[in-house]
Chains A and B, each alone.
Chain A
Amino acid sequence: MATEIPIIMIREIAYTYPNGTEALKNINLNIFKGELVAIMGKNGAGKTSLIRTLNGLIIPTQGNIYIDNESISSKSIATLSKKVGIIFQNPFHQLFSNSVEEEIKFSLKSFVLDKEEIQIRINKILHEFNLEKYRKRSPLNLSGGESKKLAIASIICRDPEILVFDEPTLGQDAKEIEFFINLIKNERKRGKTIIIITHNIEFAYEYLPRTILMTDGQIIADGPTKEILNNEILIQQTSLILPQIWQFRSALKENNFPKTGDILSKNALISYIRNYLKNKSLKI
């Protein structure tokens, strides 16, 4: 990894909105191909502004961004969106076609593909996302969960190298989140780089290896998720809360349970309690 060039290189970018709000201040960031990264922070910290710079929706007022070792400053959004697929929070901001099939077709419009190839891609994506039964249905008649899937499908069918999700687990139950987790696992296997903005601490802790913490338009931490979410000062600064595992460990420590410092992971916690309970029952 040391000799590899990051697929995304952000060098000292800053951005101020026309109304004067400084959304991004001196951001420096490297993301390597195949990584799975979480971006977390308070509302208004600059997370969505940052991802918008990746496909050209926002052009930084200073600094440079390189994707695949090429500067993106002169590229159009249409071009960049082929490399960077951003899936925003609200699927109803994009669904408009007469049918689910048409919706996918629309996403493929900017690619030069013959009719057969388009049909193949549509079939494949509908199958992958379990939306085949809704093929002819209007996207506006889908349930919340299905429409979110369709929104994701309509970006993934374009096969971008980099996938960016804005709050994908919002309002989702366990089975929908499980589908999403499998989805990102599959995409990762295919070599895609995935960036996820999330507030879901437990989700990030469990599935996202690297976390970037933002506050006030700046990156204040960047590293392994498990470490960062264990840092009480950082947690406080960014309006997050400790994952339950660490909360539990703190509570055990406060209640004078022995050797809580050994608990360094979820499995370690389970083992700890297991042993504790075994010892307890032996004493009786």
Chain B
Amino acid sequence: MSLEFLNAFKFMKKNSILHNLDPRAKLVFSIVYTICALLFTEIIPLLFIFLSLVPLILIGKLFKQWIKSIRGLSFLIIFIIILNTLFISLSFAIAMILRIYIMISAFSIFFLTVDPNDLALSLISMKIPYEFAFAFSLAFRFVPTIANEAQNILDAQQSRGYEMQKKGLINQIKNLFPLLIPLIICSIKRAFNVAEALESRAFGSRKERTYYYSIKYTLKDWIFTMYLLLFLTFTIFIRIQFNFLPEFLMWSLPV
């Protein structure tokens, strides 16, 4: 599985309507779509839900990154198709794939358009203690740094003749030590450095903390949230009334 897949979750600052929405509205979005995806096991409804994502992706100018995540998943997809076809049916397999695509896309869109800072602020607004919200956003901030470090470690070890093992599960795990141990040690050192720098800037010293930036729900966000709730209600309605709806919704492959 290529690490490129992770690019699907990397925030990049852009000026789009989607980027400018409140992070909480986008969290609602991810949850709503996940619920909708889990409501159905039939291809057609899932296809509709999936396609309803596309306009959002285009509005958010996220098409390239989103395609990368789909590609990165391709390995997993093949695996799922085979297993599900063998045990249940091809239709089910395709439905499951659509489900996964919807859920991954929903969260991918969230992470692609939410600034980790705003994420921390939205967590705080939901009454999560500042230290936890901060730790969360700090993790995001350091993901590219740690990824970079991992690459440097791999380079350094390869320069001494280290090779990635191709056979034997136990061997493969043992072979990761030269990569993991330096990575863990460096990360721990970094954690200490970050901690002492934070201490030196009065982190956690006062309960009453100022927030220089703030997030506010505006009309755009309310409209978006309303749309999402209506979408959810509609989808649940379809689910409940499913058996009374036209046959074509329940179409499946003859396999």
Contacts and interface: CB of A to CB of B under 8 A. Distances in A.
Asked whether A and B interact, the reply is yes
B88 interface: no
A126 B189 CA distance: 27
B157 interface: yes
A94 B161 contact: no
Contact of A107 (B152, B161, B181): B161
Contact of A78 (B153, B155, B158, B182): B158
Contacts of B152: 88, 90, 93
A94 B182 contact: yes
Contacts of B163: 77-78, 110
A276 interface: no
A261 to B, nearest CB: 46
B161 A81 contact: yes
Interface in A151-210: 154-155, 158
B178 A88 contact: no
Given A93-B182, A96-B177, A106-B178, A88 B161 contact: no
| Residue from the set A81, A85, A94 with the largest chain B CB neighbour count within 10 Å | A94
Interface string B144-166: 00000100110111111111000
* Candidate in B160, B178, B182, B186 with the most chain A CB atoms within 10 angstroms: B160
Contacts of B178: 94, 96, 106
A95 B181 CA distance: 8
Range class of the A interface residue count: 20 to 34
A109 B35 CA distance: 52
A121 interface: no
A81 B162 CA distance: 9
Contacts of A88: 152, 155-156, 159
Size class of the B contact interface (CB-based, 8 Å): 10 to 19
Interface in B184-200: 185-186, 189
A52 B159 CA distance: 9
B161 to A, nearest CB: 4
Contacts of B189: 92
Given A93-B182, A94-B182, A96-B178, A81 B160 contact: yes
A85 B156 CA distance: 10
A110 B181 CA distance: 20
Nearest to A89: B152
Given A90-B152, A96-B182, A110 B161 contact: yes
A109 B162 CA distance: 8
B161 A78 contact: yes
Contacts of A57: 155, 158-159
Interface centre among A85, A93, A95, A155 (most CB of B within 10 A): A93
Contacts of A109: 161
Contacts of A81: 158-161
A107 B185 CA distance: 20
A103 B189 CA distance: 20
B217 to A, nearest CB: 35
Interface string A104-143: 0011011100000000000000000000000000001000
A77 B182 contact: no
B160 A93 contact: no
B211 to A, nearest CB: 33
B176 to A, nearest CB: 11
B182 A82 contact: no
A154 B162 CA distance: 12
A106 B178 CA distance: 9
A86 interface: yes
A158 B155 CA distance: 17
A93 B158 CA distance: 11
B33 to A, nearest CB: 29
A92 B155 contact: no
B149 to A, nearest CB: 7
Given A57-B159, A93-B149, 8 more contacts: A52-B155, A57-B155, A77-B158, A93-B186, A94-B156, A95-B182, A96-B185, A155-B160
25 contacts: A57-B158, A57-B159, A77-B159, A78-B163, A82-B161, A85-B160, A86-B159, A88-B156, A90-B156, A90-B186, A92-B186, A93-B155, A93-B156, A93-B157, A94-B156, A94-B157, A95-B182, A106-B162, A106-B178, A109-B161, A110-B161, A140-B185, A154-B160, A155-B160, A158-B161
Interface of B: 149, 152-153, 155-163, 177-178, 181-182, 185-186, 189
